[in-house]
Amino acid sequence: MRILVVEDEEKVAGEIVRALTAAGHAVERARDGDEAWFQGDTEDFDLVVLDLGLPKLDGVEVLKRWRANSRTMPVLILTARDAWSEKVDAIDAGADDYLVKPFRMEELMARVRALLRRLTKHATAVLTIGDVTLDTRASRVIQGGVPVGLSPMEYRLLHYLMHHEGRAVPQTELTEHIYTQYSERESNAIEVTVARLRRKLGPEFIKTRRGFGYYSGVLSESKP
């Protein structure tokens, strides 16, 4: 999943970015409110971690502007202890969940997983299609009881398709959600990654919708 981390404190930001990257997400970072507002308004993210105390534009204002502009991605806010009125403002402005600083990274990761699941109504942290199980807590894939070794890109792509089970995902959307701004994007990178996944999981696990994109599971026409 593609996640934006908005945090001006270098140490905290670095820890969050590392933990999310290790969990298989494509992570971007913004350091102040202006930058955050612009990135969240012009790019698609699956989730945002938003600190409220920011230079230039405070987090509540950033969130209000996103929501006013119909940006509906889930937002997890970070607040200082005792800042209860700020927390209330942020929830009223459209925050989906909050964490009070200092927090345990495990708790942040669990809240991120829960918010991502809510997007597609998955009930648990484990995604299963056929004989393939993807555990989002451990970033691990098991097929027929046997662990499958995947590169970070292969994991991200598989996670995105399993998360959106039954929906044909266009190549452009895959590219946007599994690469960061700074990673190298070769024009056929998605095709190459799909081919590798098919070699590892069998040719039928990821299916092609010709001229459109890829999907896993049974294609559901009702999903846009």
Sheet of 97-100: strand order equals: 26-30, 2-6, 47-51, 75-79, 97-100
Residue closer to Ca ion, measured from CB, 79 or 136 = 79
Q: How far is the CB of 53 from Ca ion (least distance, A)?
A: 4
Q: Which is nearer to Ca ion, 53 or 202 (CB)?
A: 53
Kind and range of the H or E run holding 213: strand 213-216
220 to 17, 134, 165, 166, 169: CA distances (angstroms)? 34, 21, 9, 5, 12
Q: Cβ 59 to Ca ion, closest distance in Å? A: 8
Taking CB atoms, the residue at the shortest distance from Ca ion is 53
Bridge partner residues of 79 (DSSP): 100
In the numeric block, which tokens belong to residue 36? 């955050």
Which CB, 53 or 130, lies closer to Ca ion? 53
Residues of the shown chain interacting with Ca ion in the complex, contacts defined by CB under 5 A: 8, 51, 53
Which residue's entry shows tokens 């200082």? 80
Q: CA-CA distance, 25 to 27, in Å (whole number)?
A: 6
Smallest gap from residue 51 Cβ to Ca ion (A): 4
Question: How near is the Cβ of 187 to Ca ion at its closest, in Å?
Answer: 39
* Residue owning tokens 């266009």: 170
Going by C-alpha positions, the residue among 27, 45, 22, 219 that lies closest to residue 136 is: 22
Give dist(CA 203, CA 24) in Å, integer: 23
Is beta strand 97-100 parallel, antiparallel or unpaired with respect to 75-79? Answer: parallel
Tell the smallest beta-carbon distance from residue 34 to Ca ion (Å).
14
Closest approach of Ca ion to the CB of residue 8, in Å: 5
